Structures are given as structure tokens and as C-alpha cells.
Structure 1
Amino acid sequence: MPINQSQNSFTSDNGATKPHALKRTMSVWNCFTLGFSVVSPVVGLYAIFGVQNLVTGGGWISALALCLVMQMMVAAVYAELSSQFPIAGGAYKWARQLIGPRTGQYAGVIYVSSTIAMLTTTAYTGGMWLSAVFIGGNVQGPTAVLSGAAFLLICTMVNLVDQSIFKVINLLGVCAEVIGSICVALVLFFFFRVHPVSELFQHLGTGLAPTDIAAFLAAVAIAGWAFIGFDACSTIAEEAHNPERMIPRAIFLSLCAVGTVVLFNSSSLMLSVEHDVLVEASATSDPISPIITSTIGAWAAKPFLAIVMIAFLSCGSSVVNYVSRIVFSMAREGNMPAHLSHVTRHKIPRNAILTTISLSGLGLLFGLNDGAVATIIAFGTGGLYAMFSMTTGVGLYARLTGRWNPALGALKLGNWGLAINAVAFVWAVFELINIAWPREYVVAAGAPWWQLWAVPLVLGSILGVTTLHILINNKYRSTKNETQKASQQV
């Protein structure tokens, strides 16, 4: 039997209406800027640019383009689901509503843990930029952790005040992205380009990867980080006006905009410097700033640092918003402590925000060990692709079994919907395996074995603990019911 297809079925397991709700204040522009800030061209580019050049040697633009096209397929499934179920928590809630509470539990645990890892990574890296602007120099160890904590504190304040402040920060982040990404890339492409476009497709296999095929597969895996986060738009559906139409638009717009910018920026950077210089710069923690200053001029260093810092702060604040709505939704369904579903008089899920920040802050402690930080980064990407796999898998299963009728949603893909869903599922599973695959040439030299197997180890542990929790909880409920029946008979 198909489940209830109502768009706003906020009910508990016993059918009672939940009292906690969020306030609709977000326009399609606000939803777009949130998604744009979470995916963030600046953050995505800094995360992959140097690693791509070192591992592949070059020629990785085609892998980046492939990843973008396939992620658009995944985004189409998210858009189709959000047009029919515009509910806080997004993919977590869809898994619960389309398949059942147990599936929702697994989805929620994967979603929260991977997005917390994503926030920890953003805070750790963003803290370095915060320190670079106000202190200068590279920071490591305890200093990097403290800088990340300061970064998280700023993101906390942005999210705890009125939503209007959050919108302003998002707008500043978009402006910083436009100046720091698009404008700089245009200047480099038109005034400092030294190579023909064909340079973008050369040098593949000249890096650390042993073969051309290995280099391409690694490039696809690394590119995966640049195109995650568009699903943030779906988690704020209860705060958007006309969400069944606005959220799908925001999902597509944010991913298309970020994808275009990342592709163009990457191309401009690679065409503006000699290949040997590019590879040498990629071996440093900041491969892009030296390229900017050596081409445009030393005067651009400080302004560029400030622009990147603003972009990171906007990204971090948006990720806090994104993760806290998942936590809020899970708490409202009874899968997390109930107090996390409470909202303030301004309809802000303060407890969920503070819990999100606290968990991410604990994750920052891994910054005291470089290997542990790399594990967090790897799991953040792999965990989200596990979520993409689960969501597209849930959508495909529900579609084929009649649990979900996509024709009832505002976004109608018609006969294309099934094909797109199937392709998105196959891609998400492939990319998850590709990211999780142990590659010694991607991690630091001499990395321990557990770092090579970070994604399957962490993901397997989380799923194992979740399964144990479900089994113990079921046993407890069964024993409780038997006790109650026995007492009634007496």
C-alpha cells in the first residue's frame, strides 16, 4: 500500500501532531545562497586543487566535469523528493517516510555523522584562514585547533541570532565568492593566460598515481568533494515560502552555479602558470594564493585572504544551519533527545545548533594529529556519498514498489524520472566505493593502515553501533511489553 503522500505530515508514531515547527522566512534566493554557500566554489576548489595536481599530474578537468554531470542526476532525485516532501531533515525524513522508522534511523545516523565531519573539516580549514588574516603564517597542532574553535564560535553566533543576520552573512559570502572566484578567474583567463585550452587535458598520469586509469579514477574520487552540500536546500524546506517549488529550484541553481564556477576557476588557474610551477605550488598547504600573487601582484595577497576567509565563514555558518536542521528533525521524530527539537520564540532550533557545534568542536580535537584530520576529511566525503547512495536507493525502491508516486509532486520528470533515479543510484554507489578505495598515493607518505581504510572503518563502525542500539532497544521494548502484559493478567 502506498504511504500517506501528504507534504506536511509532521506526526509522531502514535499519530499525534508534533508541536515544534520552524518559521517560514526563506525566499528562493535565500535557499539558493544557502546551498551555494554550503557547496562553496572557494572551499571546494581549495579542497581539491592541490591534491588533484599532485595525484594526477594534470588533465583532471574531464573528471571534474563528469562528476558534476552525475551529481546533477543525484540532485534531480533530491529535487523530485523535496517537491513532494518539503520537510526539515530532507533525506533523513524521506527514508523514514517512504520505507520506515528503522531505515530512517540508519539514514539519520549516517547523515548527521557525515555532515558533522564536513563541518569539522570546514572549521579546521576555515580557522587557518581566520588565523592567516589576523595573525599571519601557517598554523598547526593546538593553534590550528584553537583557530578552528574561534571559527566555530563565530558560526554559532550567526546562527543563534535572528535569521535576518544569517541571510546577510550568506549574501556577503556570495559576494566574496563572486569577487574571489569569478572576478579573479576572469582576470587570469583574459589577461594572464599562458597556455591554450588543450593544456587542460594533458599531463594525466604524470603525478603520484601509477597509471592513467588510476589517475582518472582518483581524480573522480577527489572531485566528489567539490559537489556535495546542495542537499542543504532540502533540509530547510520548512523555513521556505512555497517550498514544493522553491526548494527544487534552489537545489538545481546552487549546484549548477557552483559547478560552473569551479570548472572555470580550475581551468583559469591551470592555464595561467607553467605546469612545473603549478605542481610545485600544489605541494604546499595553500596552492592558490602564490599563483594569484605571482600573476596579479603581491598587493592582492591580503585582500584575497580576507575574501577567502569571508567565503569560509559563510560556508561554515551555512553548514551549521544545514546540520542543525537534520538534528532538529531527528529529535522531533524521537530518534534523538526530545529537547533538541525545541525552538526559541524566533523559531530557531537553538539546542540543535548548540549540539551540532559541540560535536564538531569535539571533532576538532582530532586536529592535534594530522593523520586523524585526514580521516575526518575522508569520512566527511565518503559518508555523504553513502547518504546519496541511500537516498537514491530509497527513491528507486519506493518508486518501483509503489510506495512513492512521483507524479503527485510539484516537479514532474515523467518517464525520465525512473531512468535518472537508476543512473543516480549506480553513480552514487560507484563514487562511494571509489572514494573509500585505499590509495597509498593519495594520503601522506607513511600513513597508517587505518587511514587508508578510513571510510569503510568509520562508516562500518557507525552502522554497527546503530544496529546494536536498534537491537537493544527492540529487546528492551519487547521485555517491557511482556512485563506489562504479565502485570495486567495478575
Structure 2
Amino acid sequence: MSEMKKTLSLGQVVLFGLAYMTPIIVLGTFGVLAVITDGAVSGAYLAALIAMLFTAHSYGRMASAYPVAGSAYAYVRHAIDDRLGFIAGWAILLDYLFLPMVIWLIGAAYLNSAFPAIPQAVWLLAFIGVTTVINVLGLRLASLVNSVMMLVQVLVLVAFVGLAVHYVLGDASQPFWSLAPFLGAESSASLATLMAGAAVACYSFLGFDAVTTLTEETKDPQRNLPRAILLITLIGGLIFIVVSYFVQLAAPGTDFANPDAAAYDIARNIGGDIFVTVFLIGLIVGQFASGIAAQASGARLIYAMGRDDVLPKRWLGRLGRFGTPIGGLVLSGLVALLALTMDVLSAASFINFGAFLAFALVNAAVICHYYLKERRRGGLDTLWFLACPLIGLVAILWLMASLDPLAVTLGSIWLACGLAWLTWLTRGFSRPTPELHLDG
């Protein structure tokens, strides 16, 4: 079997990670965060960035120790325990399975704001149906198309910020520099409020670890991947903070007709009817492309797990006539129907529960691998392999506790189902824990 060529530089890996994160999502969730934080969206992103940097550091350390596919699952399995590794994989499955739902829900909310005569459920069903059909037929988006879609998003994002700055400069009553986007209206945001916002803001960071799948194609991966993961998190976080800062200045209130699609009204206010159309096109293009990729990736993971008999092989472990995992694609579409009864806040928070669980286990994996097993306990080693991951672990658990109560309930049910399924697969833990091949 031929090996993949190591052709990707550090810069190319960073660009891949930023594209995967879809930077325009900062506008997609702006209204929800503004309401939660009482106008301190930038503060929520700053808190999220600080917490995510510690976790990104842990991912980088584990990517260096175990340069293999599988990310959180592989790290926890190797560093701690097979069963906890399975739970990490189960948490990853939650993200893959439900992420398309959130993406389509955000897109549907914005289209509903633009065309209120058409119910949001119609747009949601259209997203699910069209994307599922495309993926079933096996359409592969070429890298050029993805690059064009990324370029559209970046241009719209830059234009949005530029118009927001122009709008603020044209309003003599509005200061250009202000702490309000960080502290809330009249400095009213409490630490608990900021953390609640940060728990949702972390949704924008999902995907920073996706570059671990490029291990075999990256030059000097043990050195470049840890650096790339930190750079992706830092650059992405700074983009989110800067964009939300100027948008918050242009729209300092929290009284939105529809918080799920607040950026649509803000775009109209700062740029008029023409720009709001451009903005809507850019956001929908981003959500559509992201939805195709998320559903395809999730279905691929489900197929891999079905093929390995971790999930029912008869329905999920076989390919269809077009060579695509139809079972996983259909399951993803059916799961997305839950969005008919959810809003963006609950849906995004639910996704974050799975991510936070995996992040917490990766932080723990660093301590187990380096500090306990390898006994690296010198001065700097204690900082890197005990203090930093411990801070990351505490921060992630704090964020998890700050999630929407419904999300915590649903996430706990998902975790309980995973434990029950693992118990059944191992016949009460009398058999070895099944190994997941998350590289598909």
C-alpha cells in the first residue's frame, strides 16, 4: 500500500483548518450571543478563546505523541483507557451526527427572515433534502469550488466589518473604542453571563482539530501539527473577536426581531437592501457548502462504525449503488428533523456538549500520557503537561456546566446511551472494547 506524500506546509494546514471552521459563522450566531451576554459578544469570544487555547495546546501535544487518525478517540484510547476512548468516539459521533442539523437550522433561520411568507420549516426541509440527495449521488466538491466558496465568505465578512466601521464612524454619538462589546451594556455582564455566552461561542471554534486528519500529508507533522492547531485557534478567535466587536458597536442593543437571524437586520441597517442580499447569499453559500461537507463526513464516520460492527452493519455498514453510505446520509437527514422543534441556541449548545466532553478527555489524556506514564515532571514539563491541561480541563468543565439546561439534559441522555451501548457490545464488559476506525 503506497503512502501519502507529505506535501502540506504549516501555512497550508492552517488555511485548511480556518476554512473548516467557516469564519462567517460569527455572523450566523451573533444575535443569539448578544441576547445571552447582554451585548458582550466580544467578551464571550475572548473567554472562549482563552479556554480553547489550553485545549488546543493539549490537542497539539497529543498529535505529536500519537500522529494517527482518529483525533480525540485515538488519544484517549492510547493514553488512558479503551472504554473512555469509546466514550470520546461516542462524543465525536454526536458532533458529526448533529452538526448538519445546526448548520441547516442557521441557514433556514436567515432565509425565513428574508422571506417570512415561507415557513422556516420549509427552508429546513429543503436544506435537508437537497444536501442529502447531492451526497447520495456522490457529488464531490472540488477543491477549487471549496476555495471559491471560502473566498465568497471572506469577502462578505470583510465587507460586513467595513460597513460596520463606516456606520460607527458616521454616528457621532457612538464611540469607536469601547469596552461595551466585552463587558456588556453599561458593564452589566457578569462572569456567569460571559461564561454562558462563551459556552455557545465555542460552537464557532469547532473544527480547529480537523487538521489532525492530515497527519500523513503534512511535512514534519510532529512539529507542524501542534503549531497549526494553536495558530488556527488563535487566528480564528481573533477573527471572531474583531468581527463581533465592530458589529456590536454598529448594533449595540439586544432587541432583535429574530435573534437567530439578527445579522440579517444589521446588514440591512448598515448596508441597505443591496448589501443585505449579498450578505444573505454569502451566508447561505457558506452554510450550504458546510452542510454538504458535514453531512458527508458524518455519514462516512457512521459507515466506518457500521462496517466495524460498532453500529448496526446491516443498515449503516453498507454502501449504496453510487458508492456512498446511504444509511448514514439518511440517518443524518432524519436526525436533522429534530431542528423543527429546536432553536439555534439549544441546537448549538447540544453540539457543544459532545465537543466539550471530547475536549475534557483530551486534556486528561495529556496528563495521563506525559505526566503520569512518561513521568515528565521537570519545571517546564510540569507547566506544559500538568498545569496547562488541568486549566484546560477545568475551563471546559465550567463551559459545559454553563450550557443551556436542555442541551445538558439531551447531552447527558446521549452519554447514557453511549454507556448502555458499550455495555451491550462488551456483554457487560466481559469482552474487549470494540475499536473504532474513525479514519473511515
Do they superpose with TM above 0.5?
A: yes
Alignment-mate amino acid for residue 84 of structure 1: A
Contact 1:67 1:224 in 2 (8 A): yes
Alignment-mate amino acid for residue 180 of structure 2: L
Partner of 2:247: 269
Cα 1:285–1:338 change in 2 (3 A) is: closer
Within 2, Cα distance between the matches of 1:349 and 1:229? Answer: 26
| Structure-1-length-normalised TM-score | 0.73
Alignment-mate amino acid for residue 359 of structure 1: L
Ranges in structure 1 where 5+ consecutive residues have no aligned partner: 1-18, 408-412, 439-450, 480-490
* TM alignment of 1:81-480, pairs within 5 A: 81-128=62-109, 136-137=115-116, 139-140=118-119, 142-150=121-129, 152-153=131-132, 156=135, 160-161=138-139, 165-190=141-166, 192-193=168-169, 194=171, 195-196=174-175, 197-198=177-178, 200-201=180-181, 204=184, 212-238=190-216, 240=218, 243-273=221-251, 275=252, 278-281=253-256, 283-320=258-295, 322-323=297-298, 326-327=301-302, 330=305, 335-336=310-311, 350-351=324-325, 354-370=326-342, 375-402=346-373, 416-418=383-385, 419-436=387-404, 438=405, 451=406, 454-455=407-408, 457-475=409-427
Within 1, Cα distance between the matches of 2:87 and 2:22? Answer: 28
Within 1, Cα distance between the matches of 2:150 and 2:7? Answer: 16
Task: Render the CA deviation track for 1:40-87: whole Å, top value 9, x for unaligned.
Answer: 22123322x112222332234223212112211111111221233232
Cα 1:432–1:470 change in 2 (3 A) is: same
Deviation at 1:240, TM superposition (A): 4.9
Deviation at 1:310, TM superposition (A): 1.8
**Bigger Rg, structure 1 or 2:** 1
Within 1, Cα distance between the matches of 2:193 and 2:223? Answer: 40
Within 1, Cα distance between the matches of 2:124 and 2:27? Answer: 22
SS in 1 for 2:39: coil
Task: Render the CA deviation track for 1:197-228: whole Å, top value 9, x for unaligned.
Answer: 12535773679x9x734433322323222222
Deviation at 1:391, TM superposition (A): 1.5
Within 2, Cα distance between the matches of 1:468 and 1:386? Answer: 17
Contact 1:385 1:428 in 2 (8 A): yes
Deviation at 1:91, TM superposition (A): 0.9
Within 2, Cα distance between the matches of 1:284 and 1:460? Answer: 27
Alignment-mate amino acid for residue 126 of structure 2: S
Deviation at 1:166, TM superposition (A): 4.0
Q: Paired residues, what number?
A: 423
1:72 aligns with 2:53: yes
SS in 1 for 2:68: coil
Within 1, Cα distance between the matches of 2:182 and 2:110? Answer: 32
Deviation at 1:242, TM superposition (A): 5.0
Alignment-mate amino acid for residue 27 of structure 2: L
Alignment-mate amino acid for residue 395 of structure 2: W
Task: Render the CA deviation track for 1:231-279: whole Å, top value 9, x for unaligned.
Answer: 2222443465654444334423332232122111111112224x3xx42
SS in 2 for 1:77: helix
Contact 1:126 1:151 in 2 (8 A): no
Within 2, Cα distance between the matches of 1:138 and 1:382? Answer: 34
Alignment-mate amino acid for residue 42 of structure 1: I
Deviation at 1:153, TM superposition (A): 3.1
Partner of 1:32: 14
Cα 1:101–1:192 change in 2 (3 A) is: same
Task: Render the CA deviation track for 1:350-387: whole Å, top value 9, x for unaligned.
Answer: 43xx454333211121133246x764432111221111
Task: Render the CA deviation track for 1:417-469: whole Å, top value 9, x for unaligned.
Answer: 21322211111111111225x3xxxxxxxxxxxx3xx32x3233233233333
Deviation at 1:141, TM superposition (A): 5.4
